[in-house]
Amino acid sequence: PSTSKLLTTLDVGAARGYVDVPQVERAVAVHLCPQMPPPGGTVYASHPKPAYGAAGQAASALHAMAILQVYQAKALKQLHKGSSDSEVMQELRSATDFALRATKVMARALGQVMSTMVVQERHLWLNLAQMSDVDKVRFLDAPVSQVGLFSDT
């Protein structure tokens, strides 16, 4: 694999939903049966997949970074127990804790980006479908099932 996709490959990104936008549920896809998009729509239709893949790669990288930072924090804690310079060690632990908190916030934000991409994909399907606005509202108001999205992350 290319180096840009290395982390998602090592992190089993496809199984966790990091690589491709989840497919529209079969029952919905059969009902909607969208037509091919107009020439301008094909450009729009091609944007979600690369953006979703990029967000998945970033999420996978953050996942790896968080694991390494947890290891670093545990190692620093053990070092702190046997070290005589407690002020420096406490500062390192505080910095590591801050990095972990920042990683958590970034991961949550990336999760929101990825879920927005899923909603955008569903919205594209509804716009391409030949159905009335009243029927579209029913689909837009329906909850999006999170079962199978992003695995256990």
pLDDT in tens, 80-105: 777 666 776 777 777 788 778 777 77
Structural domains counted in the chain:
1
**In-domain check, residue 35:** yes
Question: Quick one: tokens of 6?
Answer: 């290395």
Q: For residues 56 and 114, is the Cβ–Cβ distance under 8 A? A: yes
Instruction: Answer whether residue 131 is part of any domain.
Output: yes
On whether residue 147 sits in a domain, the answer given is no
- In tens, the pLDDT along 11-51 reads 666 776 767 766 666 666 655 555 555 555 554 556 667 77
- Give residue 109's Cα distance to chain centre: 9
Domain of residue 93 covers: 3-141
Percent of the chain with pLDDT over 90: 0
Residue 153 has pLDDT above 50, yes or no: no
Element (H, E) at 76: helix 48-82
User: Is 152 inside any structural domain?
Assistant: no
Q: pLDDT (tens digit, 9 = 90+) per residue, 103-128?
A: 777 777 777 777 777 777 777 777 77
Q: Is residue 25 a part of any domain in this protein?
A: yes
d(CA 27, CA 125): 13
Question: At residue 149, what is the residue type?
Answer: L
Q: What does the alpha-carbon distance between residue 125 and residue 127 come to, in Å, rounded to a whole number? A: 5
